Amino acid sequence: MSHLFDWKEERNLSLLVDFYELTMGNGYLYNGVGDKIVYFDMYFRRVPDGGGFCIMAGLQQLIEYLKNLKFSEDDILYLKNKGLFNDDFINYLRDFKFSCDVWAIPEGTPVFPNEPLVIVRGPAIQAQFIETMVLLTINHQTLIATKANRIVRAADGRTVMEFGSRRAQGYDGAIFGARAAYIGGCDSTACTIAEKMFGIPAVGTMAHSWVQLFDSELEAFRAWARTYPNNCLLLVDTYNVLKSGIPNAIKVFNEELVPLGIRPKGIRIDSGDIKYLTEKSREMLDEAGFPDCKIVVSNSLDEYIIRDVILQGAKIDSFGVGERLITAKSEPVFGGVYKLVAIEENNEIKPKIKISENEEKITNPGFKQIYRLYDKKTNKAIADLITLADEIIDESKPLEIFHPIHTWKRKTLTNFKAKKLLTKILDKGQVVYDCPNVTDIKTYCKEQISTLWDEVLRFENPHKYYVDLSSKLWSTKHNLLTKHNIHFR
Ligand SMILES: Nc1ncnc2c1ncn2[C@@H]1O[C@H](COP(=O)(O)OP(=O)(O)OP(=O)(O)O)[C@@H](O)[C@H]1O
Ligand SMILES: O=P(O)(O)OC[C@H]1O[C@H](OP(=O)(O)OP(=O)(O)O)[C@H](O)[C@@H]1O
Ligand SMILES: O=C(O)c1cccnc1
């Protein structure tokens, strides 16, 4: 079992790579450009679900992968037997030592379209090779953390438990999905191994099978209360919530817990009309003297149903959310891309561009940094400025920022502070970054979200947060466009 799950030490994922990375690697070497220093940016173009921002996640798994990147004799033999690769390439992989520099935005940071979340600098053959895993790790967890954050914000302070393992897309979908959901704000998970691996609180109630297995609902509840008097949360919808589930729960609370001086934990409702059933259940529990008994609901929930039932006045303390969270059902693809943005020649960085008919899809060339600009008075984030990596923002001088496409839209900032978002993660292949634990990441995430204006947090039609280019980067881009004979406005 540990072989399947110990992603840190034992899992050899080196060949989890799109085959073209290998054919290109072989080709780069053959054509004498394998060692040319290149820069790649990983970024996304659109926030899923029409939201205003995403939550960066998945970096720790990317780091672990890069740290362990090597090829076993078995891998080498397999590649050799393909009969496609030159001996030089096979030998390169046999002696492989990852030597790239990597910068990234820390996990839990709110991020926006077109910002490099990860930058890789190194020999073309290596920087190219890791494309698949950079995208896979960051795309998956950023998607789930972003979805979880929408769900948690809809729950408006009520607890959210992640219940998705059984409906996740594979083991890793469950495990790393639980990790991302926690970073995004879920309070706990039903995925036990996620507690063992990452320290995410694992919790659970009971299934309908528990109730069905006994001769009656009453007996099932009694057995549970005797087994777990201090953690008595009963699933009340197996037969009929209001006619049987709640009355039986009250009876058991009174007979089994009250004499011991123990308070019941709660009840869970997993079907039917959430507003009606929670309102009636709340009344019945209050009348019976259990106003502190929590009401948990589940059943194909997402941020929209959660917001709706709260608006309807449903009486809910806690949500269990599974399938629609763990699969990001409403929009299950996070379209992060990995693009070459510069090469080094004669010790100089030469920016490179990818042109597209669609102006929004033209890449931002060069080796970059991102500054988040905060209003010193409100402490709210005003805009992000993507700059060339060597640019320094002078906080003591007014800073004019402008829309990168509609350049006449300008704004001058004063009394602001500028924070660098990209941090060095690997230096020549060596990890130079300490990954925080998930609880610290989750706390950081919450703090960072509190620096965003409410308009950016809106579920629908959020205010578009400004992600601008510095004058220097804008000129670099437009010089390249002119060179390629492209003229915009
Ligand atoms: N008051 C409500 N407002 C909005 N959506 C609700 C409300 N009550 C329940 N829902 C949601 O409606 C969907 C369907 O609920 P329904 O009770 O039909 O589920 P079901 O799975 O068919 O129930 P059952 O398990 O009894 O067959 C679920 O996603 C549920 O969360
Ligand atoms: O609905 P989700 O958001 O995925 O939450 C998890 C679901 O898993 C369990 O159901 P189970 O697997 O027994 O199936 P059910 O949907 O028939 O109750 C639980 O009772 C929830 O309904
Ligand atoms: O603990 C629960 O109630 C639970 C766990 C997983 C899926 N559904 C419910």
Whether residue 391 sits in one domain with residue 309: no
Reading phi first (left if > 0) and then psi (alpha if -120 to 50, else beta), residue 363 is in: beta
Instruction: Please tell me the chain's helix, strand, coil percentages from 3-state DSSP, rounded to the nearest 5.
Output: 40, 20, 40
Q: Is residue 25 part of a domain?
A: yes
User: What ipTM does the predicted assembly reach?
Assistant: 0.95
Whether residue 95 sits in one domain with residue 15: yes
Provide the residue range defining the domain that includes 268: 152-326
**How does residue 357 score in pLDDT terms, banded at 50, 70 and 90?**
confident
Is the sign of the CA dihedral 427, 433, 435, 441 positive or negative?
negative
> What is the rounded end-to-end Cα distance, in angstroms, of the chain?
60
Total domains present in the chain: 2
The answer to whether 54 touches 47, Cβ cutoff 8 Å, is yes
- pLDDT for residue 471 is more than 60: yes
Q: Is residue 489 part of a domain?
A: no
Residue 312: give its domain's CATH number.
Answer: 3.20.20.70
Select from 128, 132, 162 the least CA-distant residue to 147: 162
Calpha distance 228→262 (Å, rounded): 11
Q: Is residue 78 part of a domain?
A: yes
**How does residue 487 score in pLDDT terms, banded at 50, 70 and 90?**
low
CA of 309 to the centre of ligand 1 (A): 11
Give me 329's structure tokens.
């059902």
Calpha distance 461→455 (Å, rounded): 9
Q: Identify the pLDDT of residue 8.
A: 53
Whether 190 lines ligand 3, by a CB cut-off of 6 Å, is yes
User: What mean pLDDT comes out for the span 2-11?
Assistant: 53
Calpha distance 321→328 (Å, rounded): 11
Residue 439: give its domain's CATH number.
Answer: 3.20.140.10
- pLDDT for residue 290 is more than 70: yes
**How does residue 2 score in pLDDT terms, banded at 50, 70 and 90?**
very low
**How does residue 91 score in pLDDT terms, banded at 50, 70 and 90?**
very high
User: What mean pLDDT comes out for the span 95-124?
Assistant: 98
Whether residue 391 sits in one domain with residue 270: no
Q: Cβ contacts of residue 314 below 8 Å, gap of 6+?
A: 274, 275, 278, 279, 297
Q: Quick one: which atom of ligand 1 is closest to the CA of 275?
A: 1
Whether residue 476 sits in one domain with residue 338: yes
Q: Is residue 309 part of a domain?
A: yes
Q: Is residue 1 part of a domain?
A: no
Q: Identify the pLDDT of residue 10.
A: 66
Is the sign of the CA dihedral 180, 314, 463, 323 positive or negative?
positive
**β-bridge pairing 118-123 and 188-189:** unpaired
Whether residue 294 sits in one domain with residue 159: yes
Give me 174's structure tokens.
């469950």
Whether residue 341 sits in one domain with residue 317: no
Select from 96, 100, 103, 117 the least CA-distant residue to 54: 117
Residues in contact with ligand 1 by the CB-under-6-Å rule are 271-275, 299-301, 305, 308-309, 312
**How does residue 6 score in pLDDT terms, banded at 50, 70 and 90?**
low
Determine the residue of 299, 304, 318, 330 to mutate for testing ligand 2's pocket, defined as the one with the most ligand atoms within 8 A of the Cβ atom: 299
Whether residue 132 sits in one domain with residue 88: yes
User: What mean pLDDT comes out for the span 375-404?
Assistant: 97
Determine the residue of 270, 321, 330 to mutate for testing ligand 2's pocket, defined as the one with the most ligand atoms within 8 A of the Cβ atom: 270
Q: Identify the pLDDT of residue 4.
A: 44
User: What mean pLDDT comes out for the span 95-107?
Assistant: 98
One DSSP character per residue, 241-285 reads IIIIIHHHHHHHIIIIIGGGT----EEEE-SS-HHHHHHHHHHHH
| Domain end among 326, 355, 384 | 326
Helix (H, G, I), strand (E, B), or coil: what is residue 77? helix
Q: Identify the pLDDT of residue 1.
A: 37
The answer to whether 199 touches 233, Cβ cutoff 8 Å, is no
286-300, 342-356, 475-489: least confident range: 475-489
User: What mean pLDDT comes out for the span 421-434?
Assistant: 98
Whether residue 360 sits in one domain with residue 318: no
Q: Cβ contacts of residue 79 below 8 Å, gap of 6+?
A: 22, 71, 85, 90, 93
Calpha distance 425→435 (Å, rounded): 9
Q: Return the percentage of the chain with pLDDT > 90, whole number.
A: 95
Whether residue 295 sits in one domain with residue 378: no
Give me 89's structure tokens.
């390439």
**How does residue 11 score in pLDDT terms, banded at 50, 70 and 90?**
confident
Q: At 107, which amino acid appears?
A: E
Whether residue 138 sits in one domain with residue 80: yes
Q: Is residue 303 part of a domain?
A: yes
User: What mean pLDDT comes out for the span 460-467?
Assistant: 95
- pLDDT tens, residue by residue, 166-221: 999 999 999 999 999 999 999 999 999 999 999 999 999 999 999 999 999 999 99
The answer to whether 107 touches 58, Cβ cutoff 8 Å, is yes
Residues in contact with ligand 2 by the CB-under-6-Å rule are 163, 166-167, 207, 270, 298-301, 320-324
| Domain end among 279, 298, 326 | 326
Determine the residue of 163, 231, 300 to mutate for testing ligand 3's pocket, defined as the one with the most ligand atoms within 8 A of the Cβ atom: 163
Nearest residue by C-alpha to atom 8 in ligand 3: 163
User: What mean pLDDT comes out for the span 343-347?
Assistant: 96
Across all residues in the chain, what is the average pLDDT? 96
The answer to whether 340 touches 355, Cβ cutoff 8 Å, is no
Calpha distance 178→304 (Å, rounded): 21
Determine the residue of 187, 205, 236 to mutate for testing ligand 3's pocket, defined as the one with the most ligand atoms within 8 A of the Cβ atom: 205
- pLDDT for residue 430 is more than 60: yes
Q: Return the percentage of the chain with pLDDT > 70, whole number.
A: 97
- pLDDT for residue 488 is more than 80: no
Whether residue 230 sits in one domain with residue 184: yes
- pLDDT tens, residue by residue, 231-271: 999 999 999 999 999 999 999 999 999 999 999 999 999 99
- pLDDT for residue 135 is more than 80: yes
Q: Quick one: which atom of ligand 3 is closest to the CA of 203?
A: 1
Q: Identify the pLDDT of residue 485.
A: 77
User: What mean pLDDT comes out for the span 472-481?
Assistant: 96
Calpha distance 120→138 (Å, rounded): 14
Phi, psi at 450, each rounded to 5°? -70, -10
- pLDDT for residue 9 is more than 80: no
Q: Is residue 411 part of a domain?
A: yes
Nearest residue by C-alpha to atom 20 in ligand 1: 271
- pLDDT for residue 367 is more than 80: yes
Whether residue 307 sits in one domain with residue 356: no
Nearest residue by C-alpha to atom 16 in ligand 1: 272
5-9, 400-404, 433-437: least confident range: 5-9
| Domain end among 269, 296, 326 | 326
- pLDDT for residue 46 is more than 80: yes
Q: Cβ contacts of residue 226 below 8 Å, gap of 6+?
A: 256
What is the Cα gyration radius of the chain?
26
Q: Is residue 2 part of a domain?
A: no
Continuous segment of H or E residues that includes residue 366? none
